Structure 1
Amino acid sequence: MENYETYDYDVLVIGAGGAGLRAVIAAREAGCRVAVVCKSLLGKAHTVMAEGGVAAALGNMDQPDGTKEPDSWEVHFVDTMKGGAFLNNWRMVEIFTKEAPERVLELEQYGAVFDRTPDGLIAERPFGGHKYRRLNHVGDRTGLEIIRTLQDKAVSLGIDVFMEVVITRLLKDGDRVVGAFGYYRESGNFIVFRAKAIVLATGGWGRMYRYTSNSWEGTGDGVMMAFEAGAELLDMEMVQFHPTGMVWPPGMRGILVTEGVRGEGGILRNGKGERFMFNPKYMPELYRGQFAETEEEAERWLTDKQNNRRPPELLPRDVVSRAIYREVEEGRGSEHGGVYLDISHRGADYIKRKLPSMYEQFHALGDVDITKQPMEVYPTIHYTMGGVKVDPETCATTVPGLYAAGEVAAGLHGANRLGGNSLSDILVFGKRAGEHAALYAKTVNLGKIDEQQIAEEEDYLLLPLETKEGENPYDIHRELQETMQKHAMIARTEKGLLEALEKIQELQKRAEHLHVDGDRCFNPGWHAAREIRFMLKTSEIIVRCALERKESRGAQWRLDYPDRDDEFWGKHNLIAVKDGQHIKIEPRPLPEMPERLKALFK
């Protein structure tokens, strides 16, 4: 075994996005000694990609008659359950919708600078699937402002930060998680953390797809470390395809175009110039009567922002993604294989004020002036609703000492996440995860670190450098991306999923013999060797769950099972657990919603 640094903490937070920083703040305020580890630099978190706003039912916006919109946690609860196709954990949704307003106002107290209404309240914009305007925003840079605010608050409390450190394994003492093992990206030197409690806030895992809005960090490290440690995973088949990612230029394909563009009046047209979202075949029965049926009616909404009858472009993301997919597949796509998203009718001054990042993004990357011409967009892998199963109250996983919050945790969003709910998710459950990790840490001592576990992980990490000949991790990554993009994206079939599973298993065998040149210092190929093995296992679980769920619901669209099965699958989550060296997938009944909440839907 090589030498390694060792650090001891009460609470270790892995991930420095919004969920991780909010957990740090909560644990630090509880009096614990806390460290946060981030794979990249502090402040460079995927949270900054969430641009449109943070969803919370503040009810700040005026109706045409001068009264405030009658928004409430109850309405937000109904919207979130409907958007998630009722696969959500009802208790998580209840906690979330009740506490989101307080968490947003807390950000304001920390120093966040939100856009304002004429009477000085936080401004809110409409978003897909939300009945009222409840996306509290800072232009189209909301995630960036949240990270800035939480980072300043966390640093002011006094924390230890380990930047550009990759955690690759959770260490256990019996059934309990007691530490984490990893290395410095710059030098490759190993590092061990002993901790009484660990909070996973590692985000998502979109990099196994060819086109994704996720940055390079999203390789599934956290979810797979939890799985290997014995945690249960929930609904891993539910991967969200954001309907509007950049199509042109090719090098920028997949980069997010915020839903705020449609929230501010952006319209979708196909290659023939038709506003296709008015087509009745794209309107789910659940939403009939709630959206405008003509362009004239949608235009009236744009000018007076009536509470109902919104434009159909503001249907939930899964619905809009499927519609765009069908338009392109049926030959009505744009010049470069997408559809057109046009906001130019809103005027240059309005666009530059409300959507400054989008204006700059398209101008700099695609030489497109969105104040004068439409954008070309197509669905891109953006988020995962599945992840580590957690307790709604405490964010505890099924492994003692391990907590999870944010995108890596599952249960809140069901089969489809509504836009804006991710930012309030990280605030609500980041706080709860930090609080309860701190409470747990005060009841236990530091556990014993097993040197054998460290030796095994060291050998696993160093093997690609010691193997004289073998597979290139980048080649395997490219083949995995092509496989998942082709067979496990928007439209899925049993035939395609079985082909994907066969290919993934082939790639896993090849990945046992990886070869990387050079040494550990400044070696991205060496980093990729560990990441590809995380991504292969994550992809296998996604595909196995997609095969098991024989229905179409939310992000799971099975062409061979096109209907929702509310009798069985509408009442069951899918659980993935480690069974020796195998993966066990089993349906588990959803918790029964109490009558007091069922009454909200009547």
Structure 2
Amino acid sequence: MRDVPPTATGESAAAVEYDTVEVDVLVIGAGAAGARAAIELVDRGVDPEDVLVVGKRQHGDAHTTWARGGVNGALGTLDPEDDWTIHAADTLNEGHHVNDPGKVETVTRRMPRLLRQLDEWGMDYSRTDDGEIDQRYFGAQSFRRTAFAGDYTGEALLDTLVEEARARSVPKRENVFLSQLLTDENRVLGAAGTDLDTGEFVVFDADVVVLAAGGYTGLFERHSSRDDENTGDGLALAVEAGASLMDVEFVQFHPTGMVGDRYGEDWDGRLVTEAVRGEGGRLYNAAGERFMERYSPDQMELDARDVVARAIAEEIEAGRGTDSGGVYLDISHRERSFIEERLPRMYERFAELGVDMAEEPVEVAPTAHYGMGGVAVDDEGETAVDGLYAIGETMAGVHGANRLGGNSLAETIAFGEVAGAAIAERLMAGEREPADNALHDAAVAHLQGLSALANSDGANDPAALLEDLRSLLREHAGILRDDDGLAAGLERLEELRARATDLAVNGTTSRSYEFALNLGFGVTVADTVLRAARERTESRGAHFRTDYPDTDAEWRRNVLVERDSVGAARLSTEPVGSPSEAVQEALDAGYELDYHQLE
């Protein structure tokens, strides 16, 4: 345990103690992206003892496990005419062409090899009759390229990566909440935070920091994450350290989240995997109409997620929804044995809730599911802050205005590999820089603030304010947006920010302390979402402005948000690049899913 050192000016600070941990590479986030980066580092010759993976939860219990439906890669198992260029074209089309084409191609080129590598590592894929990795249809994909393990693909993938990391003796540390990156002159020095088990403060002295901490849709009222996940940690840490955020206005609302009193409050918004529709599930309104015939007669339930989500919202708004404010998803026309084999987790979940999917439909409504935006990074995942990387859902660039289903898991392992390789090369080329006063001065200032927060006896409950924030974003930055609503959201956010300065917290091991930290991150990220959504005066993909309902060719640009020298948000835009000749050829060919093959 380290006592507070003198500050750079020689002045002593209030008493606060902390442990210091020295490591070459600190990976923040223990999901698929973080695990894959750590594996690559070791495979590239970095000593495992020079790497540390830190997570807010227990190791192996990350949001990755909730990605059910599958992971994309143009293996051509069932459709041999598929290839990586068509996968890239589908991704760009789904992203409404504000994706970074280079990052898209990085993912789609690598995925066939990476899927086979996971197979070699023992991933529990579903198989065809001849033993090949099976692939299913997913929304807006031209061919069957979504590999899967029943409907628990994320769980199977993360289990595989965790076992590989263990086999390489990659160190890990659980239940640590990192609340600030420590920097000096645009160089990352490490991070500071709290061990949630012991309540003690800890400082990590690191040459390189990798943010693999998930996304930000847990900040919305109805969402598919657990309540203490996807609260914008990585984005807030990055922007407060001097990095830029990009595309944060693009929030994907998955069409099928659970809704209805019969399921209970704990299940509200939880995902009903797209695999249900990929295996032939149909959507009906309360009048029994298969309403997607009106909105997308060619692609039906497997059109892009933004299209299906808005269609459901319009049905509900028109009074054709259920009493619970949803619609029906029905796969009961399939054989019971088929459902049990292809959708085992969904079947079991609803059976435990008293619903037999083989006999009756389930109720669903759109739920905040994925943030296409994130931290702006270069081709290797590095941010504008030297030594700071961001990968997985924390990074921006791959998905554009709307994510292709099955690409989230693909992005995690592809950019985990890319960043791991780049960092390993960086480490081999240079000497580790020792800790200096800048690290500890920055740490002390932050930890003093945490100590004051942990012992604050204010008037407001952090958990209640976090719920207010979620309600604010749902109301003002939901599926349908306009300038008046976004401006009102920013005003409400300022009121909430003021209340957040007067919190009641019960010590560093309390849930109220964790909620308070989540609230701080949430306010930071919500501000960027509202401002970026107001800046983009068009409708594109998941961003739909009722006052600007058309897509504007002049807005084929990315919106970036950064903090200026006094902490205020500063917005700018930059043009999108062009795809390679090979991918452009695939775009020009106009491949498209023929949904009716499922009928």
Match of 1:554 among 509, 531, 541: 541
Amino acid across the alignment from 1:490: I
| Unaligned stretches of 5+ residues in structure 2 | 1-14, 589-599
Conserved? CA contact 2:38–2:53, under 8 Å: yes
**Secondary structure at 1:4's aligned position in 2?**
strand
> How far apart are the structure 2 equivalents of 1:56 and 1:378?
28
Whether 2:582 is the aligned partner of 1:582: answer no
Conserved? CA contact 1:11–1:27, under 8 Å: no
**Secondary structure at 1:576's aligned position in 2?**
strand
Q: Aligned residue for 2:473?
A: 484
Superposed CA offset, 1:411-453 (max 9, x none): 0000000110011111100111111122223324235342221
Match of 1:401 among 387, 401, 405: 387
Deviation, structure 1 residue 335: 2.9
Percent identity of paired positions between Structure 1 and Structure 2: 41
Superposed CA offset, 1:541-561 (max 9, x none): 000000000011011000111
Whether 2:449 is the aligned partner of 1:438: answer no
Q: Aligned residue for 2:121?
A: 110
**Secondary structure at 1:344's aligned position in 2?**
coil
Q: Aligned residue for 2:155?
A: 144
**Secondary structure at 1:243's aligned position in 2?**
strand
Change (3 A) 1:468 1:51: closer
Match of 2:135 among 124, 133, 138: 124
Superposed CA offset, 1:367-390 (max 9, x none): 211111001000101110000011
**Secondary structure at 1:167's aligned position in 2?**
strand
**Secondary structure at 1:257's aligned position in 2?**
coil
Matches within 5 A, 1:153-164: 153-164=164-175
Whether 2:94 is the aligned partner of 1:83: answer yes
Whether 2:219 is the aligned partner of 1:230: answer no
**Secondary structure at 1:534's aligned position in 2?**
helix
> How far apart are the structure 2 equivalents of 1:145 and 1:17?
12
Whether 2:57 is the aligned partner of 1:40: answer yes
Q: Aligned residue for 2:492?
A: 503
> How far apart are the structure 1 equivalents of 2:431 and 2:100?
30
Amino acid across the alignment from 1:549: R
Q: Aligned residue for 1:15?
A: 29
Superposed CA offset, 1:432-479 (max 9, x none): 111112222332423534222112211221223333333221221121
Change (3 A) 1:320 1:370: same
> How far apart are the structure 2 equivalents of 1:367 and 1:551?
44
> How far apart are the structure 1 equivalents of 2:93 and 2:414?
20
Deviation, structure 1 residue 69: 3.5
Q: Aligned residue for 1:135?
A: 146
Match of 1:425 among 411, 418, 422: 411
Amino acid across the alignment from 2:467: R
Amino acid across the alignment from 1:234: M
Amino acid across the alignment from 1:471: N
Amino acid across the alignment from 1:330: A
Superposed CA offset, 1:524-566 (max 9, x none): 0011111101101100100000000001101100011111001
> How far apart are the structure 2 equivalents of 1:519 and 1:228?
24
Matches within 5 A, 1:261-300: 261-279=276-294, 282-283=295-296, 293=297
Q: Aligned residue for 2:578?
A: 592
> How far apart are the structure 1 equivalents of 2:494 and 2:541?
27
**Secondary structure at 1:256's aligned position in 2?**
coil
> How far apart are the structure 1 equivalents of 2:195 and 2:311?
44
**Secondary structure at 1:129's aligned position in 2?**
coil
Matches within 5 A, 1:375-394: 375-392=362-379, 394=380
Amino acid across the alignment from 1:74: T
Q: Aligned residue for 1:305?
A: none
**Secondary structure at 1:6's aligned position in 2?**
strand
Match of 2:39 among 25, 44, 48: 25
**Secondary structure at 2:337's aligned position in 1?**
helix
Q: Aligned residue for 2:252?
A: 240
> How far apart are the structure 2 equivalents of 1:395 and 1:389?
8
Whether 2:271 is the aligned partner of 1:256: answer yes
> How far apart are the structure 1 equivalents of 2:149 and 2:532?
37
Q: Aligned residue for 1:93?
A: 104
**Secondary structure at 1:345's aligned position in 2?**
coil
**Secondary structure at 2:447's aligned position in 1?**
helix
> How far apart are the structure 1 equivalents of 2:241 and 2:187?
9
Q: Aligned residue for 2:445?
A: 456
Conserved? CA contact 1:10–1:438, under 8 Å: no
Please identify, of 40-49 and 206-215, the stretch whose mean Cα deviation from structure 2 is larger.
Answer: 206-215
Amino acid across the alignment from 1:16: A
TM-score (norm 2): 0.92
> How far apart are the structure 1 equivalents of 2:538 and 2:224?
27
Q: Aligned residue for 2:305?
A: 317
Deviation, structure 1 residue 595: 4.5
Q: Aligned residue for 1:330?
A: 318
> How far apart are the structure 2 equivalents of 1:229 and 1:2?
23
Whether 2:81 is the aligned partner of 1:57: answer no
Q: Aligned residue for 1:301?
A: none
Deviation, structure 1 residue 276: 0.6
Q: Aligned residue for 1:298?
A: none
Superposed CA offset, 1:145-164 (max 9, x none): 00110000001101111001
> How far apart are the structure 1 equivalents of 2:34 and 2:336?
37
> How far apart are the structure 2 equivalents of 1:157 and 1:53?
26
Q: Aligned residue for 2:596?
A: none
Whether 2:333 is the aligned partner of 1:345: answer yes
Conserved? CA contact 1:40–1:217, under 8 Å: no
**Secondary structure at 1:262's aligned position in 2?**
helix
> How far apart are the structure 1 equivalents of 2:454 and 2:80?
61
Whether 2:383 is the aligned partner of 1:372: answer no
Conserved? CA contact 1:194–1:446, under 8 Å: no
Superposed CA offset, 1:219-268 (max 9, x none): 11111111111111111101110100000224111000000000000000
> How far apart are the structure 1 equivalents of 2:119 and 2:389?
27
Conserved? CA contact 2:182–2:189, under 8 Å: yes
> How far apart are the structure 2 equivalents of 1:463 and 1:375?
47
Conserved? CA contact 2:86–2:583, under 8 Å: no
Amino acid across the alignment from 1:46: H
> How far apart are the structure 2 equivalents of 1:421 and 1:208?
22
**Secondary structure at 1:133's aligned position in 2?**
coil
| Unaligned stretches of 5+ residues in structure 1 | 62-67, 284-292, 294-308
> How far apart are the structure 2 equivalents of 1:482 and 1:220?
16
Conserved? CA contact 1:39–1:217, under 8 Å: no
The number of equivalent residue pairs is 563
Amino acid across the alignment from 1:58: L
> How far apart are the structure 1 equivalents of 2:250 and 2:256?
18
> How far apart are the structure 1 equivalents of 2:80 and 2:312?
31
**Secondary structure at 1:202's aligned position in 2?**
coil
Please identify, of 144-153 and 177-186, the stretch whose mean Cα deviation from structure 2 is larger.
Answer: 177-186
Q: Aligned residue for 2:193?
A: 182
TM-score (norm 1): 0.92
Change (3 A) 1:233 1:444: farther
Conserved? CA contact 2:52–2:170, under 8 Å: yes
